[in-house]
Structure formats: C-alpha cells, structure tokens
Amino acid sequence: MKRTAFFISDGTGITSETLGHSLLAQFEDVEFTQITLPFIDSIEKANEVVGQINISANEDNSKPIIFDTIVNHDIRNVIAQSKGFLVDIFGTFIKPLEQELQQPSSYTVGKSHSISEDTGYKHRIDAVNYALDNDDGARTRNYIDADIILIGVSRCGKTPTCLYLALQFGIRAANYPLTEEDIEDFSLPKVLKEHKRKLFGLTIDSERLAAIRTERKPDSRYATHRQCEQEVEAVESIFRQSGIPYIDTTHFSVEEISTRILVEAGLERRLQ
Amino acid sequence: MKRTAFFISDGTGITSETLGHSLLAQFEDVEFTQITLPFIDSIEKANEVVGQINISANEDNSKPIIFDTIVNHDIRNVIAQSKGFLVDIFGTFIKPLEQELQQPSSYTVGKSHSISEDTGYKHRIDAVNYALDNDDGARTRNYIDADIILIGVSRCGKTPTCLYLALQFGIRAANYPLTEEDIEDFSLPKVLKEHKRKLFGLTIDSERLAAIRTERKPDSRYATHRQCEQEVEAVESIFRQSGIPYIDTTHFSVEEISTRILVEAGLERRLQ
C-alpha cells in the first residue's frame, strides 16, 4: 500500500517532519513517499504547494497526508483547501495549552517569531570545534575540558556520535581509538587512565564492524573478521575490567547512541 | 510566569521534545523549565517519572505540562495518573490516521518497533567522513564528489553547517574559507571556479563576525571590526559578481541555514 505524505512549515520543517516520521512509522504496512516543504511563508508559495498536493492526490488516487506547522492563518487556510488529509499539529494542541496556561499564544495571534539562537550558539560552536580538535585521539592535552571521552575500536561510531552530541546538546565530546597496540596488554592507555571518570565505551558487533571496515579498506587485514573479533573482545574486556560504562552501537542510530550516553553518563546538556 | 514541562518517551525523546519546544515557543510570556526523560520503557521507570512530575507539581503549585510519545499502554497509563497536564501526541493523531489509512497502527497494538537505520547509516557516515576530510579547504581534489561546497570568510559558520548537512540529510558538503589572499583581487580562486555550480556562499554581519573572532583570537588584527568589514564586503562582492547564491547566517540557527541551503541549492537528501 502506497501513500504520499507532506511535511509543510513556514520554518525549517523540522517539527512537522519529526512528528510526521514518528506517526507514519506506526503504520508498517504502508509505504510513504515523504516530501518536506520548508519556508512556505507566503500565499503564493502556499498556492504552489496546493497544486503539488492535488497532483499527488490525483496520481495516488488517495489523499496525501499533510503535517503542517504554519503559524499564519491566511497561509494555513490556503493549504487547508487542498485535497490532502490534514494533520493540524499546532491547531490541535494550542487551544488546550492556552486554557491550561491561561495565556494567548503567538500562534493564535498569527505572529510568527523566530527562536533566538543567541544563548545556544556559542555552546554549540565551541562544542563542534572541541569535537573536531579532539577527534580520533588527535590531541589528548585538552581532555581536561571534555564533558565525555568516547573510546572504542576504529570504526565503531565514535566520530559521528561526538559530532551529534556537540551539535544537538552542546556537549564537548572527545574520542580516542583503541588500537591494536593500545589493547595488546588488555589495559587502558595511560593518557586515558588519568580521565577515567570521563570515559565512555562504544562497542559493536564484530561482523558489522568487518562490513564497515571492508567498505573503507577492502581486503585489508584490518577488515578481516578475525581481526575485528579479536579487537572487539579485547576492548569489551578492558571496559569490564576497568569498570567503564559502554553501549553496543550495532542496532542504534546516532541519535539513539547519543541520547543513551547522555542518560547513562548523567551528562547535563549545555543546549536545551 | 513559570511552569515546568516534561518530554517523555520510550525512545530518544526527540519527537516529544521537538514538538514540545515548538508548541511552548508559542507562549512567549511563560518561562518553562524543560526536562527530557528518554527511554522510559518500564512500569518501574514510569513510576519514578510520576514521582518526579508530582514533586514539580507541588513545588510549582501548577500542573507540569507533559508531552509523551510512549507506545506501551500500561506504561502510558502510569504516566497518565500523574498530576501533570498531558499532551497526548500519539493518542491524538493515531486514531484519525488509522481511519484515513484504513490500517491498524503499531501504537494501537502496543508494539514498539525500532526504526532501522540500515539504509541511512552508510550515507550518513560517508557524508560525515566527507565533511571532515574536506573541511576548511584541507583538500580540494575531492570536490568532484561534493554535493555542495560552502564558501565564505573564516568563522561565518561553514563547518557546523557542513556537519549538520551530513548528519541530518546525508549531504556531502565541503567547505573552503576565502582568505585575505583569495579575495585580494575580488575573484574566485581557480580551484573553486572549476566547481562553480556546486558553490554556495555564506555571509555574516561584520560586527557579529568580529565578536566571534574576538572570542577565538582576542586582540588580533583578524578580529578587528575593520578587517571583518573588509573581508565581508569583498566576499559578498565576489558572490554577486560570480552569480553564486548566498545567505546571511547572522540571525539563523544551524538548522535554518542548512535547510535553506537545501531548498535554495535544490539539493536532494540522501537521508529521509
């Protein structure tokens, strides 16, 4: 079964898209073509969108599902005239919230206001710079400023996780790859021992690791199943012996890994 | 006016948090203390959450606002017994969607299913690696593989934007800083001219730039207002003369900048 879904916003579309994805994921037997249309902030653009929705409706012979977070009444009313099935995200929840908070909302007034980044900007940029400067064991002298130091074998997901922690939460995350030499004697490198309470381990299924490494360096010893298995076993053993908390990244997205680390390490976000 | 808001989920909490932030931002006169509680996936954890909500309710002398996306009925019922004001995100929209799609949802069945990352994972990791390898003009020989090449003065927001484009959309984004030498003759460096259709400019208010640079290198010529103004003027002039699309990042978040680039450059996401 196939349907089309539109995520429409006068801003980035991140809210309508995030909620839309989550809701549509509850319908496993439907295959959705998903289209995000951000910055729909004029009647003219809204009319174009209606055209696009109606073409989809005719082609699919069913109503496209519309998730919309447009604030302006007039623009929203244009979208509402389309042949789509409207999931009115703001319209549904704002009224009860206004009653509970006993306040009128900007939405009801029709006044869009941009969310200022000023307080968050610096934390975020500092965290991104920190992650880049302290990626892949490049430097270890800045570990004193780290909120967390991710450790694990090469290609287990450390770098994307550090970057996500930085961008999403403003967390200063360094990462250090445990290489063959590091793990030869089944103990932590000295430079890490000094920062033990900041360490957090990542591990991964060795078959998955071999597949990822093969992608990067085909036919290398580094990518063999035997090598991956040995490294993963050694690293997990170090984590357990040293009492370092760790998670298996194999079946998790970068978002899930990052959020789990935040919870399990008890980290406080610098960005809300 | 102060209130507390909880974003509660059996997963990462990203959906309830994203929607909650957007809705609460419509109430500018209320100051919200915002608490995200991810991975609430057992009755035991739910009972702890209820305790936390009720303490807030007593302290604030008003109902905390609860945004919840828990799939399991029994866990959700526990949360519903708290002294909070519940915004039932899934409960509200799933029923009408089930009717429209004529399908039962996993939510109604109470079966949580994790969203598989398999198709997206490779695109995402490749894009992050690409952004890191081609950051800050480090290499230019890989521009043939770029989806987009961001250009602009030092510290105008290129690197975080490239990383966000990679993590969020799987876009391969390189960036090249236009230095004093590059812009001396008010024309594009040769290495960029070859890839002109991939270029996208970032610019920034010169006072904001001076503030950001001062943070990084206080009392340097690089951070003076005069220097920043000259660079920004020269770069904008190059953008206009060469017909390169560009946006001013001064008042935008990384999300907004990235989403605008996606739209204006007509880029297709590799991740949905």
Residues A211-254 pLDDT 10s: 999 988 999 999 999 999 999 999 999 999 999 999 999 999 99
**CA distance readout (Å), B127 to A34, B99, B121:** 21, 39, 10
Per DSSP, B137 falls in state G
* pLDDT value, residue A272: 73
Count contacts between A and B (CB, < 8 Å).
172
CB of B125 within 8 Å of a chain A CB? The answer is yes
> For residue B4, which of B38, B31, B25 has the smallest C-alpha distance?
B31
> Any idea of the CA torsion for B65, B68, B74, B75, to the nearest 10 degrees?
-80
pLDDT of the residue at A88: 93
Per-window interface: B 12-31 vs A, CB < 8 A: 12-15, 18-19, 21-23, 25-30
Cβ-Cβ contacts under 8 Å, B251 against chain A: 114
Structure token digits, residue B228:
């920043």
Indicate yes or no: CB of A125 within 8 angstroms of CB of B34: no
Whether the per-residue pLDDT at A114 is higher than 60: the answer is no
Q: Which of residues 128-157 of A touch B (CB under 8 A)?
A: 128-129, 132, 135
Are B100 and A65 in contact, with CB atoms under 8 Å apart? Answer: yes
**Beta carbons of A131 and A163 less than 8 angstroms apart:** yes
Provide the token pair at B198.
């991939």
Q: Between chains, do A215 and B122 touch, taking CB under 8 Å as contact?
A: yes
pLDDT of residue B232: 96
In contact, B209 and B155? CB cutoff 8 Å? yes
Residue A43 DSSP label: H
pLDDT tens-digit map of A120-139: 788 898 999 999 999 999 88
Q: Report the pLDDT value the prediction gives residue A113, as an integer from 0 to 100.
A: 54
Q: What share of chain B is helix, strand, coil (3-state, %, to 5)?
A: 50, 15, 35
Let me know if B195 is exposed, middle or buried by CB neighbors in 10 A (0-12, 13-18, 19+).
Answer: middle
Instruction: Give the nearest partner residue to B30 out of A39, A103, A129, using CB atoms.
Output: A103
Looking at residues A38-62, what average pLDDT do you find?
A: 97
Q: Select from A17, A22, A103, A202 the residue whose CB has the most chain B CBs within 10 Å, as the one to mutate to test that interface.
A: A22
pLDDT of residue B271: 84
Q: Which residue in B87, B96, B129 is closest to A93 by CB distance?
A: B87
Instruction: Say what the pLDDT of residue B109 is.
Output: 74
Q: Is the pLDDT of residue A7 over 80?
A: yes
What's the mean pLDDT when you consider all of chain A? 93
A111: confidence class by pLDDT, cuts 50, 70, 90: low
A227 neighbors A183 (Cβ within 8 angstroms) = no
Count of CB atoms within 10 A of residue A67's CB? 27
The partner residue sitting opposite A254, judged by closest CB among B115, B157, B167, is B167
Residue contact B13–A90, C-beta within 8 A: no
Distance CA A240, CA A220 (A): 29
Question: What's the CA gap between B36 and B22, in Å, rounded?
Answer: 14
**Contact yes or no for B33/B20 (Cβ under 8 A):** no
B20: its two tokens: 């909650």
CB B204, CB B227: distance < 8 Å: no
| Predicted confidence (pLDDT) per residue in B201-255, tens digit | 999 999 999 999 998 899 999 999 999 999 999 999 999 999 999 999 999 999 9
Point out which residues pair with B50 in neighbouring strands.
none
| A42 CB-contact burial (10 Å; exposed 0-12 / middle 13-18 / buried 19+) | middle
Residue in B12, B29, B97 closest to A23 by CB: B97
In DSSP terms, B6 is beta-bridged to B35, B66
Sites in chain B below the pLDDT cut of 50: 116-117
| Cβ within 8 Å, pair A100-B114 | no
Q: Which of A133, A50, A112 is closest to A86 using CA atoms?
A: A50
CB B203 within 8 A of CB B156: yes
Distance CA A262, CA B103 (A): 36
| Shortest CA gap B256–chain A (Å) | 6
The Cα–Cα gap between B250 and B260 comes to 13
> For position B135, what pLDDT does the model report?
95
Residues 216-235 of B with CB under 8 A from A: none
**Mutate: best of B34, B62, B93, partner A, most A CBs <10 A:** B93
Please report residues of B whose CB lies closer than 8 A to that of A259. Answer: 12-14, 38-39
Chain A partners of B11 at a C-beta cutoff of 8 Å?
Answer: 256
Nearest residue on chain A to B94, judged by CA atoms? A23
Amino acid at A78: V
How many CB atoms are closer than 10 A to CB A161?
Answer: 27
The ipTM estimated for the assembled molecules is 0.89
- H or E element, residue A230: helix A225-242
Distance from the Cα of A185 to chain B's closest Cα (Å) equals 30
Give the span between the Cα atoms of B143 and B148, in whole angstroms.
8
Q: What is the pLDDT of residue A1?
A: 84
Displacement of CA B236 from its chain's centroid (Å):
26
Of B28, B105, B115, Cβ closest to residue A106: B28
pLDDT band at A183 (very low <50, low <70, confident <90, very high): confident
User: Cα–Cα distances in Å, from B207 out to A25, B186, B204, B214?
Assistant: 45, 21, 9, 10
User: What is the three-class DSSP state of B239?
Assistant: helix
Beta-carbon contacts of residue A91 (< 8 Å; ≥ 6 apart):
A76
Among the listed residues A39, A158, A116, A146, the one whose alpha carbon sits nearest the alpha carbon of residue A271:
A116
Q: Which of residues 51-110 of A touch B (CB under 8 A)?
A: 63, 65, 69, 71, 85, 87, 89-90, 92-94, 96-97, 100-101, 103, 105-107
State in Å, rounded, how far the first CA of chain B is from the last one: 39
Judge whether A20 and A34 are in contact, CB under 8 Å.
yes
Nearest to B160 among A93, A115, A167 (CB): A167
- Nearest CB to A105: which of B26, B97, B100? B26
Task: From chain B, pick out residues whose CB is under 8 angstroms from the CB of A71.
Answer: 26
pTM: 0.90
Q: Does A259 touch chain B (CB under 8 A)?
A: yes
Contacts of B1 in chain A (CB under 8 A): 101, 103
Interface contact A89-B19, CB threshold 8 A:
yes
CA–CA separation, A162 and B53 (whole Å): 31
pLDDT at B138: 85
